[in-house]
Structure formats: C-alpha cells, structure tokens
C-alpha cells in the first residue's frame, strides 16, 4: 500500500513538473520538498543535500518573495529503518506541500494569462493622444486645484488595511478538508479536464475568420468611443453647471469683487474698433476670426446656431436672409443671453418671446443697413452671445454665395457677395469655415472653388458637410460621402473635415432636440459603423471644439505680430503730427466737436448780452425799411390827394386800420425773426482774432441753419402785437415840440430817400444828362430819347397846373401823344403813363419836403388845432403816429426776443448739437481736413494697440 501511494505521489510530482504554469526549473526534482524526495526516491543522497532556492516566476510579480523563508530542522532519516509513525507524518506533509504548489502555480499561470490578455487589448485600442483636445482643459488642470497628497494621507494605513483582510489562520484550517482533493475522481481531476477543454475551445476560436474579428473589433471600438463620448458629455455638463453656479455667485456680489472682462470680450472689442478704422496708412486687419462661408441655404446659419446653442437668426424658405455680415462673439457666462454692441438690452435666449424679438431686431438691422437699390450690405452687425458651456470664439456669418441673380435682386448682388467674402477670407489669419450642403450634388457647389482660391494649401480651412442624414438616404453610393470627408472629391484642401446634422427641416425645433437627433443618427448610422466616418469627425459638438481650438491657436500665433504692426503705425502717425502741427493738441473728431459745441453755446449766450437799445434800433430801422413803401404808396399818397384835412384824416385812419389788421403784425414778427437770425449769424461767423479756427466753420453753419429751421415764433405774439400797434396808431396827441421836430425829421428823411430813389429811376429811364454825356462820353439809347421827350412834355403839363391830380386823364394822354407825334416821335400810351408816375412822384415829394419846412413852426398851430391858420400839418401828425408805432413795436419785439425767443433758440441749438453728437456720419461730413483725419487715425491706432497689449497680457496670464 505504501508503495502504491508513493508511486501515485511521483506521478503527481512529474505532472506538476511538466505543467505549463510558467515555473522555471533545472530539474523536476529540485522543486520537490526534501522529505518528499527522501521518501519517493531512496537513491537520492540525503546527507549531502542543500535546499536550492525557488526559481519560479511568481517572485517577479508578488510581494511575498520578500518574506524570509522559515527554516525548518530537517530529519535525518535512514532509509529502511523508519518507524511506521514517521510515514504518516510524511504523507500529511506531502499532501500539504502538493496543495501549496498547486495554488502557487495556478496563481502564476492566471497572472501570466491576464497580463497577456491585457497586452492584446492594449494593442487593439486606438491611440487617443491625437484626441487629447477633446477633453476639456480643466481635466488636465485638476492637479492644480486638487491636492492629491492630502488625499493619500487621508487613506487608511497598512494596519487599518490588515484589519480588512480575511483571517488566514482560518483559511489554513479549511485546507484540511482538501485531503482527498487529488484522489481519483476528485474535483481536482475535473478541474484539469476543464482546463484542457478550454484549451481546445481556444483552438476552435482561432479558426474564426479574420473578417468577423475585424467586425467585432470595430463594434467594440465604436461602443468604447460612444461610451467615452457620453462620459465626456456628462463631465462637461457637470462642469457647465458648476461654472454657472460660480458665475451666478459673482453676479450676486457674494464675493464682493468686480469681475474682470473676459478674454474673448477683450478680443471682440479690438475687432469692433478695427472694423470702424479707416486704414489710411496701409495697416491691415490681420487678426483671426472664424469666417463662415457657404452656398445659399447650405446651412451656415444652422451650424452657427448649433454652436451658439440658440435660434438667434431669422429664417426664410429658400430666400436670402443674411443680407449683411454678422459678427457673433461667443463667451461663457452664467445666463444664456445676447446683446448688440450699441445697445444695453439683453435678450434672454431661454425665452421664446426674447428669441423672436432678437430675430426681428437682426432682420430690421440688416434691412436698414442695405442702401437703396442694393440687396446686400457691407456694414457689420456686432452681436455677443453669452452662456454656460459656450466655446469662446468670434464668428462672422457672411451672405450666402449665389450662382444666379433672381428677380428682385440688384444686378451686382453676385459680385458684391463675392467681394465681401473675399475681403474677409483674404485675411491670412482668418479661419474659413466652409459649409457644404450634403443633400445636393457636390458639383453644384460654388463656395469650394472660392475657398480653394483664397486658401489653396488648406492651412486655415475647416470643411463642414451639413444635412448628412438626408445625404445618407439620397446618395446611392455612401462612399461618395467618405470621399468628401476625406477631401478626395473636391480640389480644395482643409485642416479638418466634419459631418453634422443641424435639424430635420422644421425651424421650430429646439436646439436640444436637434442635438439628440444628431447623436441618435450617428449612433445608428452605417457611415460610422462601417468606418466611413470617424467618431471625432461627427456632431456639431466636436466641430465647435475643433474650431475653438484652431481659433485660439491662430490668435496666439498672430496677435503679437499684429500688436507690433500697430505700434509701428502709431510711431509714424505721431511723427507726422509733430512735423505738421507742433503747437496743436491731438484732438480727434469727438474732441473737436466738443470744443466747437462749447464755442457755439458761448456765442448763443452772447445774444443775451446785446443791449436793449441796440435791439430796438435794429428792429425799428428794419421794420420801417420793410413797410415804408406801403406807407408812402398806399396810405400817404392817396390821403394827400384829398381836398381837406377831415377827408385826409379819415382816409389815413381807414388805411391804417386795414393795414394793422392784416399785414403789420405779421411783418413785424418776420422782421424780429430775421433780426434774431442776423445777430445769431453775426456772432457765429465773426472771427475772434488769432483764436479763430476755421475747421469749425462748416459745423457752425450747419448748426445755425438747422436751429433756425427748427425755431418757430410764438403764434400768440401776433395777436398781442396787433392790439399794441392798433392803440399806438390811434393816438394823435403830440405832447411836446421835441416830438414834433422828431416827426418832421423822420418825414424829411423818408421823403428825401424816396426822392433820391425816384430821381435814380428817372435817370435810368431818360439816360444821362448833358454833363455826364460830355464828361463820360455816354450817349442815350433810342428808347431813352423817347422817354426824355415824353418827360419834357409831362413837365410842361405839371407847370401849367401845379395842383394836378396824381393820374392823367385820357384826353391828357392823347394830347401828349399827339404833341410828340408832331415832332416825329411815336409813343405808346402805357409809356406815357409810366413816365408820368415817376414825374408826378418826384414833383409830389419835392412839394411835401417844402411843406415840411413850412411845418417846422407849425407846432403852435397844432396845439390850437390849426384854428385861424391857413397852415395844415396833418401829414406831420401821420408820420409821428407811424414813428411812435415803430418805437412801441420795436420795444415789444425786443422784450419778446430777450425774454422768450433767445432762450428758445438756445434750447434748439442744444438739441441740434445733441443730435449731431449722436450722428457720426454728420460729424464726419462737417469736421473734415487732414488735421482731423490724422488725429482720428492716431486715436484709433493708440486705442487698438493698448487693447491688444491688454489682451496679450491677459492671454499670457491664462496660459
């Protein structure tokens, strides 16, 4: 029996020695215990035996090899003389040692198999180093925000871990139950058979075809990528919520600190200034921005909305909606809002009514920017969109490229769109986002040829294929889509190629529903499953990340070079200013306008410093010049033809009443308004010595004209003035001799000026007299000779009858005509009457002047009402009444001017200046010249350079 068991033990030892558990050994017997060798192999010399060290591969992987081996005292057994009880101990030890080797061998073999499987899977996994940019930056910066040393210290120590380990003593006791484990028919034998069976299955698995392996690997890779994508989106969503909470706390003032302007907002301000800058000094704008170009209705707006995560643009079915460039600045913020550069109103993009209002406002701005007779505009609309999780970048949406001009468009629409697109794309640092409609034939695309012309090497172009869901359904050969995405179908080259889905064709769909539809489509798409498309080339999310990364890379590479260029431009401008205007300050257009505004307001205030006497003298003189003709011709002359003083006074009163009711108040107000204008113009245009700056002349003239145009005299002024004038003309009582003499002087001046005008008219009619003909050798014309002869005949008529009426009778006209015909002069009756009017007028004025001289001593008779006196001076009383009315009217108008109208004019001037201050086009038109343009360019260049330097500093701090 003992021999049988010993033989069985030897069989087991040989099987262990030959098993494939990764144990390295010199000979099978060296791995057996000393007692086992002494029992089973009696010819092995035990007295000279040295126990060799274990050379098994487990020593390379386990920490147990550091534990010292327990030294046991070996028994000196003499073969053939052992007692029976020693055999029982040997059998027990051999069984336990067998179990130890089995466990260690199984552990080593399993570890080796696990490592080999891990290496195979590792080789099968794709290299994700190229997609490191997909992971947000904060993942790589976690070690800066999380103290891992503190976490390590917080972990339990070795003693605490030992308490968690199982009790190995109890496990050792349970080994006794394995006494019959290796007996025939035991579970151990079954385990070995199972191992052999698994080996056979592995051989059968290797017979599977390579194609099925590739399919399984692709499916496994796709599942892994999708899983990684979902994990990334979950992390981004959590990060988005956390950042939103942080920004909201800052908005509420919890931290009690002022938030710094974001990096992208600083960059956007620089672009806004550059868009308004007139590059007169060959300083071009080469700062990066993302230029979105594509054919009309290719989906440019939809891609932009997916990146901005809001439906912000107006939409139309097949018609042109983008009529001008729209610059969209995307930045991160606590709330999803949008606002225009020139407006403080915020549109809440989470509310549908605000979204509708924003779309309407963009459409209105586009239509207002388009000039009459045009379809598109070059004016840029600047819009900022803030929201949690938005990628920071600046995009410019351009009008879609068209191939044919349709009805309703301007003839040059196609060329204008091409010129706008080229102007933006020719910037060597602009990133071109080329949008291609995947649902139409690629041969119909125009934009790809345009992009390839502007960027032939494709170093700054990103190609985007839209409507891939429709393309997959309609395209007969899916490989055609693969050719597009791989850049093999179009001649253009690009940095990257992306395929996106931006909707189902319904404009009312939300951004969230479109994103879900896009993800679902690509998960089930054959294009992705068959590896025609790669996972990093699909979805607008990946597109947004790639564009943002490329944008900031381009910014970091080019912004310092642009700052240096503007620094050089600034130096050139400052040198030119010092050479041309060394003693003048560098005042730009706005500063010059403020200076001119102050001067104009000072000049308006100067109107209040005009003395009342000056106002009244000007008003009285101007008013009499305006109404003197009417007084002489329509009032004085008709009244003077009467036969007695009663009739004279009655006629004068009637004529004056009619004149006051209908014409006089209105004429007086017109005179006052014109006088105010003349005084205002005098103060505005008079030069102030060496301090006068002619650069303001056009502006002052425009302000004066616009203010006068807006000014309206008080309508109730005429009614009050009418009553005052009527009362003044009804008064006939001259109180003293001084007023009487003043009236006579006023009448003489008026009559002498009229007489002088009349003699001038007569001289023009009859020609020069004999003195001028003899001295200046001037002759008379035939008509002048006829009028001279007619004048002589009419003078004879007046000499015959000094009290002749003002009008000729018909028989008198006939007599004069016949007398002239008798001398061979043919005249027309109308010529006779016309000449008579001037001859009689001169005669009447001379008679009236003589009467004035007679009335100088008539004040005494006036006081007695000309009783017992042949002298009548009613005409002196008439002119006194006129003179007094003029003085009272001038005084009334002066009070209204100084108390009301000057202040109203000052108010109008201020309003005009405020309107001009808000109208940049008006300021550019009115403040012109080399000096203004040079100062304006210098200001803009300085501002651009300072903002660029501040942006570069913030950019370096962020890095």
Which range, of 685-694, 786-795, 838-847, averages the lowest pLDDT? 685-694
Q: Which residue has the tokens 């484990």?
A: 181
Query: 888 falls in which pLDDT band (50, 70, 90)?
Result: very high
Does residue 101 have a pLDDT over 90?
A: no
Does residue 360 have a pLDDT over 80?
A: yes
pTM recorded for the entire structure: 0.54
pLDDT the model gives residue 956: 86
Q: Exposed, middle or buried by CB within 10 Å (0-12, 13-18, 19+), for 862?
A: buried
pLDDT the model gives residue 255: 38
* N-to-C CA span, the chain: 83
Which range, of 110-119, 264-273, 562-571, 854-863, averages the lowest pLDDT? 110-119
Q: Copy the structure tokens of residue 956.
A: 């370096």
* Pairing mode of beta strands 290-294, 431-437: parallel
CA distances from 722 to 313, 659, 661, 663, 665 (A): 63, 10, 7, 10, 5
Query: 297 falls in which pLDDT band (50, 70, 90)?
Result: confident
Q: Which residue has the tokens 């209908």?
A: 662
Residue 487 backbone zone (phi > 0: left; psi -120 to 50: alpha; other: beta): left
Q: Which of 905, 916, 940 is nearest to 605 (CA)?
A: 905
Q: List, for residues 899-935, the tens digit of each pLDDT value.
A: 888 888 888 999 999 999 888 888 888 888 888 889 8
Q: Is the dihedral angle over the CA atoms 824, 827, 829, 834 positive or is it negative?
A: negative
The residues near 767 (Cβ < 8 Å, ≥ 6 apart) are: 778, 779, 780, 781, 784, 785, 787, 788
State how far the Cα of 9 lies from the Cα of 3, in Å rounded to an integer.
Answer: 10
Cβ burial 739-776 (10 Å sphere, 16+ → b, else e): ebebbbebbbebbeebbeebeeebeebbbbeeeeeeee
Long-range contacts of 481-486 (CB under 8 A, 24+ apart): 481/438, 481/527, 481/532, 481/533, 482/527, 482/532, 482/533, 484/436, 484/438, 484/442, 485/532, 485/533, 485/537
HEC assignment per residue over 39-72 = HHCCCCCCCCCCCCCCCEHHHHCCHHHHCCCCCC
Greater model confidence, 659 or 264 = 659
Q: Copy the structure tokens of residue 947.
A: 């903002």
CA distances from 731 to 211, 501, 734, 742, 855 (A): 126, 95, 9, 16, 20
State how far the Cα of 43 lies from the Cα of 38, in Å rounded to an integer.
Answer: 8
Q: What angle do CA 822, 827, 833 make, to 5 degrees?
A: 120
Provide, rounded to the nearest whole percent, the portion of the chain with pLDDT above 90. 13
Most confident range (mean pLDDT) of 10-14, 349-353, 864-868 is: 349-353
State how far the Cα of 834 lies from the Cα of 839, in Å rounded to an integer.
Answer: 9
Q: Which of 491, 412, 419 is nearest to 455 (CA)?
A: 491
CA distances from 416 to 325, 410, 421, 482, 755 (A): 12, 10, 9, 34, 71
The stretch 72-80 carries a mean pLDDT of 41
Cβ burial 806-845 (10 Å sphere, 16+ → b, else e): eebeeebbeebbebbeeeeeebeeeebeebbbbbbbbbbb
Query: 179 falls in which pLDDT band (50, 70, 90)?
Result: very low
The stretch 611-630 carries a mean pLDDT of 91
State how far the Cα of 303 lies from the Cα of 512, in Å rounded to an integer.
Answer: 14
DSSP string, 240-309: HHHHHHHHHHHHTTSS--PPPPPHHHHHHHHHHHHHH---TTS-------EEEEEBTTSSHHHHHHHHHT
Provide, rounded to the nearest whole percent, the portion of the chain with pLDDT above 70. 72
CA distances from 216 to 200, 704, 852 (A): 22, 86, 130
Contact between residue 247 and residue 334 where contact means Cβ atoms under 8 Å apart: yes
Contact between residue 842 and residue 755 where contact means Cβ atoms under 8 Å apart: yes
State how far the Cα of 275 lies from the Cα of 273, in Å rounded to an integer.
Answer: 5
- DSSP helix/strand/coil, 714: coil
Most confident range (mean pLDDT) of 128-132, 147-151, 545-549, 770-774 is: 545-549
Mean pLDDT score across all residues of the chain: 77
Residue 689 backbone zone (phi > 0: left; psi -120 to 50: alpha; other: beta): left
Q: List, for residues 362-415, the tens digit of each pLDDT value.
A: 989 988 888 888 888 888 888 999 888 888 899 999 988 888 888 878 888 888
Query: 120 falls in which pLDDT band (50, 70, 90)?
Result: confident
The stretch 270-298 carries a mean pLDDT of 73
Q: Copy the structure tokens of residue 303.
A: 């891609």
Q: Copy the structure tokens of residue 484.
A: 């597009």
- DSSP helix/strand/coil, 559: helix
State how far the Cα of 357 lies from the Cα of 338, in Å rounded to an integer.
Answer: 11
State how far the Cα of 728 lies from the Cα of 884, in Å rounded to an integer.
Answer: 7
Sheet holding 326-331, edge to edge: 347-348, 337-340, 381-386, 326-331, 393-397, 290-294, 431-437, 461-466, 496-499
Q: Which residue has the tokens 């087991």?
A: 12
Long-range contacts of 816-825 (CB under 8 A, 24+ apart): 816/790, 819/793, 820/789, 820/790, 820/793, 823/789, 825/786, 825/789, 825/790
Which range, of 472-476, 530-534, 578-582, 648-652, averages the lowest pLDDT? 472-476
Contact between residue 754 and residue 845 where contact means Cβ atoms under 8 Å apart: yes
Alpha helices in 711-809 (DSSP H): 717-730, 737-766, 770-776, 782-800
Greater model confidence, 289 or 124 = 289
The residues near 77 (Cβ < 8 Å, ≥ 6 apart) are: 38, 46, 86
Contact between residue 588 and residue 941 where contact means Cβ atoms under 8 Å apart: no
Angle between helices 84-124 and 2-18 (to 10 degrees): 20
Greater model confidence, 75 or 433 = 433
Does residue 47 have a pLDDT over 60?
A: no
What are phi and psi for residue 774, nearest 5 degrees?
Answer: -75, -40
pLDDT the model gives residue 881: 92
Which range, of 209-223, 402-416, 864-878, averages the lowest pLDDT? 209-223
State how far the Cα of 666 lies from the Cα of 197, in Å rounded to an integer.
Answer: 124
Q: Which residue has the tokens 């005299």?
A: 713
pLDDT the model gives residue 860: 77
């Amino acid at each position: 029996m003992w021999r049988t068991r010993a033989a069985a033990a030897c069989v087991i030892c040989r099987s262990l020695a030959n098993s494939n558990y990764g144990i390295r050994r010199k000979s099978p017997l060296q791995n057996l215990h000393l007692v086992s060798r002494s029992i089973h192999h009696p010819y092995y010399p035990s007295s000279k035996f040295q126990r060799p060290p274990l050379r098994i591969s487990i020593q390379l992987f386990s920490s147990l090899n550091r534990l010292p081996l327990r030294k046991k005292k070996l028994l000196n057994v003499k073969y053939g003389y052992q007692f029976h009880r020693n055999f029982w101990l040997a059998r027990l030890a051999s069984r336990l040692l067998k179990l130890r080797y089995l466990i260690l061998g199984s552990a080593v073999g399993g570890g080796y198999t696990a490592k080999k499987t891990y290496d195979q899977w590792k080789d099968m996994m794709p290299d994700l180093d190229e997609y490191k940019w997909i992971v947000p930056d904060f993942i790589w910066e976690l070690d800066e925000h999380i103290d891992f040393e503190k976490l390590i210290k917080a972990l339990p120590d070795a003693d605490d871990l030992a308490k968690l380990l199982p009790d190995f003593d109890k496990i050792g006791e349970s080994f006794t139950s394995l006494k019959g484990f290796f007996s025939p028919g035991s579970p151990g034998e079954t385990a070995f058979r199972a191992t052999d069976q698994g080996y056979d299955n592995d051989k059968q698995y290797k017979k599977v075809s390579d194609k099925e392996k590739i399919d399984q690997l692709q499916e496994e890779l796709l599942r892994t990528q999708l899983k990684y994508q979902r994990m990334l989106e979950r992390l981004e969503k959590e990060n988005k919520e956390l950042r939103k909470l942080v920004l909201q706390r800052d908005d509420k003032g919890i931290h009690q600190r002022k938030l710094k302007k974001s990096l992208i907002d600083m960059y956007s301000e620089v672009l806004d200034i550059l868009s308004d800058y007139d590059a007169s000094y060959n300083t071009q704008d080469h700062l990066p921005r993302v230029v979105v170009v594509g054919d009309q209705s290719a989906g440019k707006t939809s891609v932009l909305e997916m990146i901005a995560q809001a439906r912000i643009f107006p939409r139309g079915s097949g018609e042109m909606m983008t009529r001008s460039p729209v610059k969209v600045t995307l930045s991160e913020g606590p709330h999803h809002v949008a606002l225009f550069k020139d407006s403080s109103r915020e549109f809440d993009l989470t509310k549908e009514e605000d979204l509708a209002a924003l779309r309407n406002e963009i459409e209105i701005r586009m239509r207002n920017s388009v000039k009459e007779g045009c379809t598109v505009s070059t004016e840029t609309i600047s819009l900022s969109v803030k929201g949690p999780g938005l990628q920071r970048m600046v995009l410019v949406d351009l009008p879609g490229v068209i191939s044919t001009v349709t009805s309703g468009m301007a003839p040059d629409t196609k060329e204008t769109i091409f010129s706008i697109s080229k102007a933006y794309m020719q910037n060597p640092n602009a990133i071109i986002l080329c949008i291609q409609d995947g649902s139409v034939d690629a041969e119909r695309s125009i934009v790809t040829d345009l992009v390839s012309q502007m960027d032939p090497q494709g170093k700054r172009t990103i190609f985007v294929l839209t409507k891939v869901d429709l393309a997959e359904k309609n395209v007969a050969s899916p490989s055609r889509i693969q050719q597009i995405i791989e850049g093999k179908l179009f001649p253009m080259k690009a940095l990257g190629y992306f395929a996106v889905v931006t909707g189902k064709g319904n404009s009312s769909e939300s951004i969230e529903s479109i994103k879900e539809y896009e993800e679902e489509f690509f998960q089930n798409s054959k294009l992705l499953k068959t590896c025609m498309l790669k996972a990093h080339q699909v979805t607008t999310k990946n597109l947004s990340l790639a564009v943002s990364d490329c944008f900031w890379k381009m910014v970091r590479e080019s912004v310092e070079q642009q700052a240096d260029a503007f620094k050089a431009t600034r130096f050139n401008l400052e040198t030119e200013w010092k050479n041309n205007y060394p003693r003048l300050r560098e005042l730009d257009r706005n500063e010059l306008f403020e200076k001119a505004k102050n001067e104009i307001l000072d000049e308006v205030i100067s109107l209040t410093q005009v003395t009342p006497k000056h106002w009244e003298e000007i008003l009285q003189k101007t008013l009499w010049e305006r109404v003197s003709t009417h007084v002489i011709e329509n009032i004085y002359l008709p009244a003077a033809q009467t036969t007695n003083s009663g009739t004279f006074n009655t006629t004068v009163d009637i004529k004056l009443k009619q004149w006051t009711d209908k014409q006089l108040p209105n004429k007086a107000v017109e005179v006052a308004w014109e006088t105010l204008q003349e005084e205002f113009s005098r103060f505005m245009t008079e030069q102030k010595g060496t301090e006068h700056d002619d650069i303001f002349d056009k502006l002052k003239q425009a302000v004066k004209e616009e203010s006068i145009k807006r000014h309206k005299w008080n309508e109730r002024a005429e009614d009050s003035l009418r009553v005052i004038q009527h009362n003044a003309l009804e008064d006939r009582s001259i109180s003293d001799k001084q007023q009487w003499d003043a009236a006579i002087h006023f009448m003489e001046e008026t009559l002498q000026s009229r007489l002088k005008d009349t003699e001038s008219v007569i001289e023009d009619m009859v020609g020069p007299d004999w003195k001028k003909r003899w001295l200046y050798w001037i002759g008379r014309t035939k008509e002048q000779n006829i009028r001279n002869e007619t004048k002589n005949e009419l003078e004879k008529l007046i000499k015959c009858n000094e009290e002749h009426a003002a009008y000729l009778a018909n028989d008198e006209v006939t007599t004069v005509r016949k007398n002239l015909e008798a001398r061979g002069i043919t005249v027309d009756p109308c010529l006779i009457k016309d000449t008579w009017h001037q001859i009689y007028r001169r005669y009447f004025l001379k008679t009236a002047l003589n009467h004035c001289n007679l009335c100088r001593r008539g004040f005494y008779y006036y006081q007695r009402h000309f009783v017992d006196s042949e002298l009548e001076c009613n005409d002196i009383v008439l002119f006194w009444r006129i003179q007094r009315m003029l003085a009272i009217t001038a005084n009334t108008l002066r009070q209204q001017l100084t108390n009301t109208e000057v202040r109203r004019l000052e108010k109008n001037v201020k309003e005009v200046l405020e309107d001009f201050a808000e109208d940049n086009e008006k300021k550019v038109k009115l403040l012109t010249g080399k000096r203004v343009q040079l100062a304006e360019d210098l200001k803009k260049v300085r501002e651009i350079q300072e903002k660029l330097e501040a942006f570069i500093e913030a950019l370096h701090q962020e890095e």
